[in-house]
Amino acid sequence: MAGCLKKGLFKIRKNRKIAKDIYLMILQGDTSAVTAPGQFVNIALNGFYLRRPISVCDLSGDMLTIIYKVVGHGTAYMSKLEKGRHLDLLTGLGNGYDTSCSGDKPLLIGGGVGVPPLYYLAKKLLEQKKHPSVILGFNSREDVFGEQEFKALGLETVITTADGSYGISGFVTDALKNFHNYSYFYSCGPEAMLKAVSDASESSGELSFEERMGCGFGACMGCSCKTKYGNKRICKDGPVLKKEEVIW
């Protein structure tokens, strides 16, 4: 599924806050290496040795959208970049979600900064005339983002918050209990959530993982994990794994 990575300069077209510590950035450049939803880009930042991996949230023409949370020095630096600046990106990284498995009524389950890749996935599924439903989990009302965007695609979109300050009180798995007869699921979020989703899900599905990365393109073995089908590199053979192959 994965094509060949590209390295190129992207121009920042937009970079603004959309929720607590959450920013949306639109980057313009050669996006031709992106071949599937669930892939990620790896961003070089001045003064930081390693690139920062961020999922593709949306893509249209040469405009690539990412949504990122400020959790450390690198993402804090990103949040201060002004539009017009250029960033050096590796694009086309990772396998991405396999939309051919989805069936007619897939379920998308995202938590926190695991939400963004599901948006581009939803659009791709819709292009293929499939009609996903969406569960998005957050900690609290102030953390919520994306609800309007998924709804604007015409999708049933359920929000959960851990503190009950918005939407359903609890975790995505609390919402998941109300869904049945979905054909497949696609998930992205913190590992504890992925595990819970995997356990609670009634169908087959795919999960997108995170790991600290050296290269992001399969060269360094920094991100290896064991699966039922052998050792895999999260960056190249993942980040998306099938529910059935994951060893928890």
Partner 1 sequence: MVNTHVNLSGFELDNPVIPASGTFGYGYEFAELYDINILGTFSFKGTTRDPRFGNPTPRIAECASGMLNSVGLQNPGVDQVIAEELPRLKKCFRKKVIANISGFSRDEYVCCAEKLAAQEQVGLIEVNVSCPNVHNGGMSFGTCPSSAAEITRAVKAVANHKPVYLKLTPNVTNVAEIAKACEDAGADGISLINTMLGMRIDLRKRKPVLANTMGGFSGKAVFPVALRMVWQVYEAVRIPIIGMGGVSSTEDVLEMMFAGASAVQIGAANLQNPFICKEIIEELPAVMERLNIQNLTDIIGAAHS
Ligand X SMILES: Cc1cc2nc3c(=O)[nH]c(=O)nc-3n(C[C@H](O)[C@H](O)[C@H](O)COP(=O)(O)OP(=O)(O)OC[C@H]3O[C@@H](n4cnc5c(N)ncnc54)[C@H](O)[C@@H]3O)c2cc1C
Ligand Y SMILES: Cc1cc2nc3c(=O)[nH]c(=O)nc-3n(C[C@H](O)[C@H](O)[C@H](O)COP(=O)(O)O)c2cc1C
- Using CB under 6 A as the binding criterion, the count of chain residues that bind ligand X stands at 22
Residues of this chain, 95-114, that bind ligand X according to CB under 6 A: 113
**What does 41 bind: partner 1, ligand Y, ligand X, none (CB cut-off 5 to 8 Å by kind)?**
none
Residues of this chain, 199-228, that bind partner 1 according to CB under 8 A: 211-215, 217-226
Does the protein bind partner 1 through residue 190 (CB under 8 A)?
no
Q: How far is the CB of 13 from ligand FES (least distance, A)?
A: 28
Judged by beta carbon, residue 147 or residue 211, the one nearer ligand FES is 211
Close Cβ partners of 199 (under 8 Å, ≥ 6 residues apart): none
Alpha-carbon span 37 to 152, nearest angstrom:
19
Q: How far is the CB of 80 from ligand FES (least distance, A)?
A: 26
| Encoded tokens for 73 | 């020095």
Does the protein bind partner 1 through residue 241 (CB under 8 A)?
no
Binding string, residues 35-74; x marks residues near ligand X by CB under 6 A: -----x---------x-xxxx----------xxxx-xxxx
Does the protein bind ligand Y through residue 214 (CB under 6 A)?
yes
**What does 235 bind: ligand Y, ligand FES, partner 1, none (CB cut-off 5 to 8 Å by kind)?**
ligand FES
Judged by beta carbon, residue 179 or residue 238, the one nearer ligand X is 238
**What does 190 bind: ligand Y, partner 1, ligand X, none (CB cut-off 5 to 8 Å by kind)?**
none
Q: Are 54 and 25 in contact (CB under 8 A)?
A: no
Q: How far is the CB of 154 from ligand FES (least distance, A)?
A: 36
Annotate the chain with DSSP letters as a single string: -----EEEEEEEEEEEEEETTEEEEEEES--TT--STT-EEEEE-TT-SS-EEEE--EEETTEEEEEEE--SHHHHHHHTPPTT-EEEEEEEES----GGG--SSEEEEEEGGGSHHHHHHHHHHHHTT---EEEEEESSGGG--SHHHHHHTT--EEEEETTSSSSEES-HHHHHTT--S-SEEEEES-HHHHHHHHHH-SS-EEEE-----SSSSSSS-TTEEEETTEEEETTTT-SEEEGGGB--
Alpha-carbon span 69 to 4, nearest angstrom:
27
Binding string, residues 213-232; x marks residues near ligand FES by CB under 6 A: xxxx-xxxxxx---------
Does the protein bind ligand X through residue 236 (CB under 6 A)?
no
- The residue within the footprint of ligand Y, chosen from 85, 163, 220, 228 (CB under 6 A), is 220
Binding site for partner 1 (CB under 8 A): 4-5, 7, 44, 48-51, 90, 211-215, 217-226, 231, 236
